[in-house]
Amino acid sequence: MRSYFTPMLQLSRSKKRLITLLIDSIFLFCAFWLAFFMRLDTVTPIFEQKYWAVFLGVLPVSLLAFIKLGLYRAVLRYMNMHAVWAIATGSLISALTFIGFSFFFNAGVPRTVPFIFMCFCLIFVGGSRIAVRALIGHQRWHKKASVLIYGAGSAGRQLATALAQGPEYHAVAFVDDDKAVQGHDMQGIHVYSPSKIESLVEDKSIEKVLLALPSTSRSRRKEILAQLEPLPVQVQTTPGMADLVKGHAKLEEFKDVGVEDLLGRDPVAPKKDLMTADITGKVVMVTGAGGSIGSELCRQILRLKPTKLVLFELSEFGLYSIDKELNEYKQQKGLDVEIYPMVGSVQRTNRIEMVMRSFAVQTVYHAAAYKHVPLVEHNVVEGVRNNIFGTYYTACAAINANVETFVLISTDKAVRPTNVMGTTKRMAELVLQALSKTQDSTRFCMVRFGNVLGSSGSVVPLFRKQIKEGGPVTLTHPDITRFFMTIPEASQLVIQAGAMGKGGDVFVLDMGESVKIFDLASKMIHLSGFSVKDAKNPNGDIKIKCTGLRPGEKLYEELLIGDNVSGTNHERIMTAQEVMLSWDELEPLLAQLDDACHNFEHERIRELLLSAPTGFNPTDGICDLVWQQKHKGETRTAEIVDLKKVN
């Protein structure tokens, strides 16, 4: 059937209107004479001239009325209530015109004939359009994939309408938790209870479940996803209500389920007084401004309206990207904030101090760090230089420039570290704790948290890419666990924790429960519409492959060294009492570490890190690539010497 309509559907708009006009003329002709036949039960009127005169008057007026009412501007396959109203009004005008011309030509038309004519107009003109629309829609419907919409509210109904007009999907059922709507039809689609999902997927050959729940809490979404995970369907979601209201997304632009929904953790609304205390009306500087955490801190800070925002970043591209984004946002919102992109390394103390002095910086968020565990293991000297001495130099510059508040972005890997990266971050904490006791001008505090979703190096985008490519999905160990938090929530909590610091505080963010990465990978595979291929299911789609722990990697992360923890006036922020060194004790250790780095003495660097009160307990030997290469060369030389002695 579709093939008969294809040539007409491919015509130009003007040609379609001419054809429709001609067909409507035929419909009006048939309606006119059928009205007489239905009333008089005879075809005699068709042979009388006076009735032809009436028809020739009714026809152009009727067509003109339909044109003026916009009937021919409506796209047939998307005909809506406006087109129905145009047909009804046009048919009424036709009937009234019929009556008028009957009196004018003294045709003696029975009084019921014009009303019968109007009914036929509605049937022919309106019914034909509905029939063609249904035929076209039926053919398109058969070529679409069947989907189920979870949520029969406003968002779900709008989504069903959008899908009906698109070429890819057809909504065959609604599912909703509200018992008041269960059993009813919405836009011709039946609403079922969530308990019916499994049978619906099988009976209606559903390929995809779309979550139209923009206002539902994450905890409830987690429950829903747990119910959907075992089913052989792909699960996607519509954008959140905030994105819809701001115009950042369209309802029909559904996307893969976010890992934040799998975690089921609802963010706590930030406290305004804590958010604004160190930022609003002040000069703020962010080091590592182009990184995952640094860039989100910049976004949050800009919304809080500082007078100046200084972006300090070593990566030229990272700095360019965040500077461009922030300036576009600033212009869009009309914010009166000066933004200064500064290229520089935190290891150059004179550069960073000059920047702080020149802009009279009042608050510093120190996010600059090397944080990828294997990379720091392979580049030990640079890891120590950047994470320990970079923090030390930046902190000294802040003291000399009379900065009021200095907040260090720390990590859960600083707790009982098994790798160089975690150890260097714990050493950075010790530096700030010691410096806080030597002066009163700058208030230092540290905020410790785990992995953030979507950061560079996060497993989530890697898993998505591997699933899209058909697998395998790789992780280092089947029992490995991690804490997770969204970048915006982590950044907001960092800002609030910084405002609560009194000097030398170590704050710990409540990350919720740790997540088993193997389970996370399995859920992502299932919700993408695939099954895990393993010994129990050899015919599955995607295999999960364990590659072994990387150098310095832990199975489990912790957030606290001891149990001496106390709460704060924020439910997601705790403060920890950690072991610390005085500056007199720490300064000689830093001097020795600086000398060892300068001379690339890796054995000595490890000894110094082990001697510090960081709890460093390495799981591997020295993994620095330069040291290993040098060690291989020395070993090879010794073997050659021994061989010569033998000969």
Question: Taking a C-beta distance cutoff of 8 angstroms, is the pair 378, 625 a contact?
Answer: yes
Closest CA to 406 of 395, 392, 393: 395
Burial class of residue 131 in the structure, from the number of CB atoms within 10 Å of its CB (0-12 exposed, 13-18 middle, 19+ buried): exposed
Q: Token match 């799981």: residue?
A: 619
Single-letter amino acid, residue 596: A
CA distance 279 to 301: 7
- Is 413 annotated as catalytic? yes
CA angle 489, 493, 497 (to 5 degrees): 175
The CA–CA distances, whole Å, from 225 to 198, 258, 494 equal: 13, 11, 30
Query: Which DSSP state fits 270?
Result: P
The CA–CA distances, whole Å, from 408 to 235, 319, 366, 388, 569 equal: 39, 20, 5, 11, 20
DSSP result, 487-548: HHHHHHHHHHHHHH--SSEEEEE---S-EEHHHHHHHHHHHBT--EESSS-TT-SEEEEE--
Q: In what order do the strands lie in the sheet with 169-175?
A: 185-186, 189-192, 169-175, 145-150, 208-211, 234-237, 255-256
Annotated active-site residue in 208, 282, 371, 413: 413
The CA–CA distances, whole Å, from 361 to 7, 289, 309, 331 equal: 69, 15, 9, 23
Question: Taking a C-beta distance cutoff of 8 angstroms, is the pair 426, 412 a contact?
Answer: no
Give backbone dihedrals phi and psi of 638, rounded to 5 degrees, phi first.
-65, -40
Burial class of residue 492 in the structure, from the number of CB atoms within 10 Å of its CB (0-12 exposed, 13-18 middle, 19+ buried): buried
Show the 3-state SS of 415-461. CCCCCHHHHHHHHHHHHHHHHHCCCCCCEEEEEECCEEECCCCCHHH
SS3 content of the chain, % helix, strand, coil (to 5): 55, 15, 35
Rg (CA), the chain: 36
CA distance 328 to 233: 40
**Structure-token pair, residue 304:** 């809080």
- Three-state DSSP at 266 gives coil
CA distance 352 to 314: 11
- Helix (H) / strand (E) containing 382: helix 380-384
Query: Which DSSP state fits 550?
Result: P
**Structure-token pair, residue 402:** 């009379």
Residues in the chain: 647
The CA–CA distances, whole Å, from 455 to 227, 450, 460, 518, 544 equal: 28, 11, 9, 19, 22
- Helix (H) / strand (E) containing 409: strand 405-409
Q: Token match 């309106």: residue?
A: 126
Task: Supply the residues annotated as catalytic.
Answer: 413
